[in-house]
Amino acid sequence: MIAYIMSNHTLTKKILEKLSKQEEVINLVLELGPKAIVQFKKYHPLKASISYTSPCQTTAILKTFINVNHSEELTELTGCFF
């Protein structure tokens, strides 16, 4: 029984290593106006950033990865705009 637990643990560890090495592909792109930029600056998630598209910083593009299997990530992102 112990040998099975150890091999199961090793398998789980290898799967987690592979998952952590997967690249996160951008799957959400938003164009932000002035009000949304202000909201983003106040409450933005740590792993998201914006790129300004106008010289006066009145428009920006947000490109990020949202893990669709973790609803809390989507809630966190939408929470900064509403």
User: Model pTM?
Assistant: 0.62
Q: Which pLDDT value is given to residue 21?
A: 60
Contacts of 43 (CB under 8 A, 6+ apart): 79, 80
DSSP state of 28: E
Sequence spans of domains, the chain: 23-79
Which pLDDT belongs to residue 64? 86
Q: Give Cα 56 to chain centroid, integer Å.
A: 27
Q: Residue-wise pLDDT tens for the chain (82 aa)? A: 455 555 667 777 777 676 666 666 888 899 999 999 998 888 876 677 899 999 999 999 998 888 878 888 878 877 777 7
